Amino acid sequence: MVARAAARRATMRGGRSRLVATMRRNGGKGFMREVQDVREGREDGVKEIDFQAPLQIVKYPDPRLRAKNMRIDEFGDSLREFAKEMLVAMVEYDGIGLAAPQVGVNVRLMVFNPEGDPEKGPDYVLVNPRIVKSSNRHSVFEEGCISFPDIYAEVLRPERVTVEYQDLDGKKCKMQLNGLKARVFQHEYDHLQGVLFHDRMSPEVLETVRNDLEAMEQDFARENPGVQIRKVAKVTA
């Protein structure tokens, strides 16, 4: 997620973000949790993370953004160094959050800092994160994404989430996130699920960025002939 959204956090706190929906989860568990349980139960973990610094941002519609992301089983030096490089890349590209597939490494790791600056707020590093509870209250807020340069649009998300994850030592942790922190987490978590932020847009909002998305698809096709990609969905009557 990129910094333009962070610059709007005062607007969000001021109450101008619109409450647009209230949703109830079946049995309190939630569809996302059920899907995640299935995915995590079937995937094999990785023990060594292979990467090359400096990290390069993967842009839409690169297939790596849709690929399966593997659970991390080894908590050693390669993980620590990779997380450090992700934080460097996040700041370099004016981001407030970054997920591993966005730098071409398909593992379940995210970093974020809602302030966009480690001197103004803490850096968060979450390994193998999962959402265990989402609030019924949802709101719309403008988001951007490092993998979609200069594209911004409103996305509907829960206002609060409770998450479980492991830290860089493998310790199991749990925390509740609200407001912008919750939104950034959910944006990056979607990346770990192979979900991109335009997948969350309403049909009306999606139409406002369709030309930009299709232009990125065309650029990618010219630079990577023969590579299969998932294109933005067409409008159905």
pLDDT digits (tens, 9 = 90+) for 68-127: 999 999 999 999 999 999 999 999 999 999 999 999 999 999 999 999 888 889 999 999
Residue-level pLDDT at 4:
65
225 contacts: CB under 8 Å, gap ≥ 6: none
Catalytic residues: 188
Between CA 32 and CA 37 the distance in angstroms is 9
In the numeric block, the tokens 């609030």 are attached to: 135
- Write the burial class of residue 156 (CB in 10 Å: 0-12 exposed, 13-18 middle, 19+ buried): middle
* Token digits of residue 46: 């990785």
Give the helix/strand (H/E) hosting 210: helix 203-223
Residue-level pLDDT at 117:
82
- What's the pTM? 0.85
Give the helix/strand (H/E) hosting 21: strand 19-22
Between CA 39 and CA 162 the distance in angstroms is 19
Q: Are 23 and 137 in contact (CB under 8 A)?
A: no
Residue-level pLDDT at 43:
55
User: What single string gives the DSSP state of each residue in 22-39?
Assistant: E---GGGT-HHHHHHHHH
Between CA 31 and CA 23 the distance in angstroms is 12
Residue-level pLDDT at 23:
29
Residue-level pLDDT at 118:
81
Q: Which residues is 155 bridged to in the sheet?
A: 141
Q: Which of 15, 25, 82, 23 is nearest to 55 (CA)?
A: 82
Between CA 99 and CA 43 the distance in angstroms is 18
Residue-level pLDDT at 235:
74
Q: Are 108 and 188 in contact (CB under 8 A)?
A: no
* Token digits of residue 101: 């597939």
Task: Quote the DSSP letter at residue 44.
Answer: P
Enumerate residue ranges in the chain where pLDDT < 70: 3-43, 237
Residue-level pLDDT at 18:
34
CB atoms closer than 10 angstroms to residue 20: 12
Residue-level pLDDT at 52:
95
